[in-house]
Structure 1
C-alpha cells in the first residue's frame, strides 16, 4: 500500500508550523519589551514645566536603580544615575560615537579600584526636556557595557529629590 501525497494536508501542516513560529516571535517581542521596561522604565522620560522650572521624573527599576534613556551630543544613550560619580563616566569605546574628545589623563577612584581615565566635555546632554551644556565627563576604558554613569557634574546643576520609587530632577 503506497502513501499518497495530499497537497492540502501538506499545506495545512506548513500553515500550522508558520502559525507556531509567528506566535513564538510575538511572545519574544512582547516579553523582551517587558524585560526592557524592568531594566529601564524611563525609556522616554516625560517632562513638565513647574513654576518656570523643567521637571523630569524617573521611576526606579526592579533593582532599585534609576536608569533613563537620554542623549549625548544628539546620540541616544542609557544613563544610570550615580551620585557617587564625580563626573559623567562614559565607556571609552563610545567616545567617537558620542563625539567626545579625550583630554588630559588622570587617575579616578571607582568602585572597581583606581583607573586611568581621560577628561572630556559633553557639548550637550539631554534627559527629557532638561538640556545641559559643557558638562564635565571622563572616558573610562574599564567600563565594558554601554551604560553611562550620570554623576554629580550633572546632578549639581539640578535639584533632585527622591520620593518613594521616583527621582525628581528639576532645573535650578
Structure 2
C-alpha cells in the first residue's frame, strides 16, 4: 500500500512540475510577443487608401515597416536625416545588390567606407518606387534606412505617435 502512495505522490509532483514549466513557457512566449509588438508595431500595416499608409511609432520613437527591394522582403526604418537610402552590408549581400563605386562617408560614428548601389524596385506595403540610388553601409543591422531620396516622394504628417505617409502623384 505504501508503495502505491509513493507512486501517486511522484506522479503528482511530476504533474505540478510540468504545469509550472508550461506556465513559464507561456509567460515567456507572451512577453516575447509583447516586446516584439512594442519594437515593431507596424507588422499589420494600416492603409487609409491606395496611396496612404499610417505608421505607429515604436517604443524607441522610430517608424518601421515591412517592405521589399527587388521583390525580396526587408524591414525599413524611416530616416528623414539620411540623404539616401542606406542598406547594411549583410542585407545588401543577401539581396545580391550590385556593388558600385567606393565612397568615403561621414556618419555620426565617424568616417566609414561605403559603396554605391542601385535599387530597381522598392515596395512599401502597397506603394512602389522605382530606380533609387542607395548606399551599402558597413553596419551589421537588419533594417534598411529609408532616406530622403525615397521619402521626398511622400507627404509625411506626424500627429502624436502616428505618421501618415501619402504618396504624392501627378495624377488628379
State whether TM-score is above 0.5. yes
Partner of 1:96: 93
Matches within 5 A, 1:8-157: 8-49=8-49, 54-141=51-138, 143-157=139-153
Q: TM-score by structure 1 length?
A: 0.87
Q: Deviations over 1:58-85 (max 9, x none)?
A: 1111222212222223333222211111
Secondary structure of the equivalent of 2:98? coil
Secondary structure of the equivalent of 2:18? helix
Q: Deviations over 1:22-52 (max 9, x none)?
A: 1111111111111111111112222232xxx
Q: Is the 8 A contact 1:54 1:170 kept in 2?
A: yes
Q: Is the 8 A contact 1:45 1:127 kept in 2?
A: no
> What is the deviation of 1:10?
2.1
Q: What is the CA–CA distance in structure 1 between the aligned matches of 2:48 and 2:15, rounded to whole Å?
A: 49
- What is the number of equivalent residue pairs in this alignment? 166
Q: What is the CA–CA distance in structure 2 between the aligned matches of 1:8 and 1:146, rounded to whole Å?
A: 52
Secondary structure of the equivalent of 2:94? coil
Secondary structure of the equivalent of 1:13? helix
Q: Is the 8 A contact 1:70 1:76 kept in 2?
A: yes
> What is the deviation of 1:109?
2.1
CA RMSD, 1 decimal: 1.8
Q: TM-score by structure 2 length?
A: 0.87
Partner of 1:171: 167
More helix by share: 2
